[in-house]
Amino acid sequence: MIPAIFGLAGLSLSADERAFFRDADPAGYILFGRNVESRAQLRALTDELRSLQGRDQLFICIDQEGGRVARMKPPVWQPYPTGEAFDRLYDLAPASAIEAARCNAEALGLDLAEAGISADCWPSLDVRQPGAHDVIGDRAFGAEPMRVAALGRAVLDGLARAGVAGVIKHMPGHGRAMADSHKELPTVTASEAELESDLAPFRTLAHAPVGMTGHIRFTAWDDARPATQSPFVIEEIIRCRIGFGGLLLTDDLDMAALEGPVPERAARALAAGCDLALNCWARMDDMAGIARLCPDMGEGAAQRLDAALAVMGAPGGDTDRRLAMAEKRDALLALAAADGGAGLSDAERRA
């Protein structure tokens, strides 16, 4: 099995993709808006991936957070609030915010389960910092580490109730970045003491089944390499200080924060200690290069993948339950609506 998560080019598999994926046997797949059109089409696509690999339990993930990060969009799928909506409610009623976040994640997870998607690249546990780049912004659950952890735990719980694994990101923390790692490599010069607050939510939720790295250079830990490709950050910070023992994915290797050909980026990340290389853009040359350059998955990574798959339920959905969870979420978010309009309209909820 190739230690990689690969993207797909379109709404269905091409003949070349089908032949390559069958031969390469990647650990899983990631879906984007280009792969999503309708409920029937999306479920047919994920069913074909399972059939192709001969595995009922297959790692198929997506970035579905809510707000501006959503690959499954209205009018086919309902919209979901941003992390900031739950942060606002937390100011007024912490317990209600936690319950709203759990209900929201369960509703969202049921959408994913219906589509045959088994993992969501969410929650973001990045602690928002004043003056930082807006690439995180309203995606964050707040600026206080324990609040971020409490709401992140609720998201993991809600997704799990829908049979979907959450992926905590972006370890060891993207909240201080002054640049967008999609476009350039951010460099964080904060001290080790200052960075403790960034680590705190990840440490609290270190039991999560899956995590994702961030393409950020932290001069306090490794002034030469981004976290994704730093053996010190992966082993000492993520595995030891945070205590994360789950399956560790890279962020997208195509992002401009990293240098060199994509297969070489993947090889450096795996050598640094990441379990799986995430290659999102379905370029056949890049995927074939990763398959050639990267060794088969090691025993430890395979065990962590199996553990992550074990928490994922069978594909399926429950429309009535999804609507009930969305209605409960909106009733709770309405408490903060006067302070920021956090709720969704009835039409949006039922879209």
CB neighbourhood size of 122 (10 A)? 29
The token pair at 217 is 């250079």
The CA distance from 37 to 133, in Å, is 31
**Partners of residue 168 on adjacent β-strands:** 211
The β-bridge relationship of strands 165-171 and 119-120 is parallel
Radius of gyration of the chain (CA): 19
Please list, residue by residue across 305-339, b when 16 or more beta carbons sit within 10 angstroms of its beta carbon and e when fewer do: beebbebbeebebeeeebeebbbbbbebbebbeee
The CA distance from 97 to 99, in Å, is 5
182 is catalytic: yes
The token pair at 113 is 């389960």
Task: List the catalytic residue out of 251, 252, 286, 330.
Answer: 251
DSSP type of residue 74 = T
Half-sphere exposure of 347 (CA within 13 A, CB side): 1
Within 215-318, where are the H helices? 231, 262-272, 284-293, 299-310
What Å distances lie between residue 334 and 99, 151, 153, 296, 325, CA to CA? Answer: 13, 17, 22, 50, 14
Task: List the catalytic residue out of 23, 56, 91, 182.
Answer: 182
Q: Coil, strand or helix: which one is 28?
A: strand
The CA distance from 28 to 62, in Å, is 11
The token pair at 17 is 């993709």
251 is catalytic: yes
The CA distance from 318 to 64, in Å, is 18
Q: Which residues carry out catalysis? A: 182, 251
